[in-house]
């Protein structure tokens, strides 16, 4: 869930932009132009996929899927998610320009930690481990972003304590939903196109040695 403009204090906004810049610099190291179309296309898919609504009782929620970005793009998940946040702020007309930094750290940080959780699968060997670890990654992504959002609210001021609590409560059903969705997606991709997932043999989207550059 994103935060809107006008809520967070100056220091929190600054920390958001600073943190996002640092994380972007670190996760985009040695990124060559060949990765640009690949990361962009996946970012576009996630942008579009996050518009999907899943019914939740009488209403519906839309998916965040930062965990899925993590398991597909690895560390490049951060720039991808940051791009998604920027484009949402610029294109939707719903605001969010002043909180691009905070939202990127929130969602992107969740994506990176989801990748970390996903990579833990290498230490295990049991049937359907990709579904399990994908599910854990999906839940981790949403949970971490909720925690960071709550932290940002609490740091802004104690008058936001109740809001932070409500935010965390609101994330619980979304965590459950995304655990199932991302887990099933990870299973599907493992069966159909395992190279799409980060950390798999022949992983196609991360750190592929450069093709012969056209001179």
Q: Is 15 in the site for another protein (CB under 8 A)?
A: no
| Cα 127 versus chain centre, distance | 26
Q: Applying CB under 8 A, which of residues 37, 127, 201, 202 lies at the interface with another protein? A: 37
Q: Is 91 in the site for another protein (CB under 8 A)?
A: yes
Q: Taking CB under 8 A as the criterion, which residues in 115-144 touch another protein?
A: none
Q: Do residues 134 and 186 touch, judged by C-beta distance below 8 A?
A: yes
CA distances from residue 185 to 2, 39, 46, 84, 125 in whole angstroms, order as listed? 23, 19, 13, 20, 19
Of residues 21 and 147, the one with the C-beta less far from another protein: 21
CB of 120 to another protein, least distance (A): 20
Number of residues that bind another protein (CB under 8 A): 73
Q: Is 94 in the site for another protein (CB under 8 A)?
A: yes
Rounded CA-CA distance 79/20 in Å is: 9
Backbone angles phi, psi at 133, to 5 degrees: -70, -30
Range in contact with another protein (rule: CB under 8 A) among 103-111, 113-121, 140-148, 191-199: 191-199
| Number of Cβ atoms within 10 Å of the Cβ of 106 | 30
Q: Applying CB under 8 A, which of residues 29, 123, 159, 209 lies at the interface with another protein? A: 159
CB of 109 to another protein, least distance (A): 18
CB of 43 to another protein, least distance (A): 5
* Paired tokens of 97: 């320009």
Bridge partners (DSSP) listed for residue 62: 53
Of residues 56 and 151, the one with the C-beta less far from another protein: 56
């Amino acid at each position: 869930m994103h935060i809107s403009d006008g809520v967070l204090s100056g220091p929190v906004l600054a920390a958001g932009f600073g943190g996002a810049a640092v994380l972007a610099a670190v996760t985009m190291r040695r990124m060559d132009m060949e990765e640009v179309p690949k990361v962009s296309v996946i970012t576009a898919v996630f942008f579009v996929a996050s518009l999907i609504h899943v019914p939740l009782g009488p209403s519906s929620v839309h998916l965040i899927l930062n965990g899925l970005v993590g398991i597909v793009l690895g560390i490049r998940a951060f720039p991808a998610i940051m791009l998604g946040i920027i484009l949402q702020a610029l294109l939707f007309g719903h605001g969010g320009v002043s909180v691009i930094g905070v939202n990127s750290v929130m969602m992107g940080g969740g994506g990176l930690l989801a990748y970390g959780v996903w990579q833990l699968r290498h230490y295990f060997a049991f049937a359907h481990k990709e579904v399990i670890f994908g599910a854990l990654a999906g839940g981790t992504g949403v949970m971490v972003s909720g925690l960071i959002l709550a932290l940002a609210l609490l740091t802004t001021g104690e008058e936001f304590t109740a809001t932070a609590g409500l935010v965390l409560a609101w994330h619980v059903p979304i965590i459950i939903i995304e655990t199932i969705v991302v887990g099933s997606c990870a299973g599907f991709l493992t069966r159909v196109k395992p190279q799409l997932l980060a950390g798999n043999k022949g992983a196609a989207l991360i750190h592929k040695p450069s093709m012969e550059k056209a001179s």
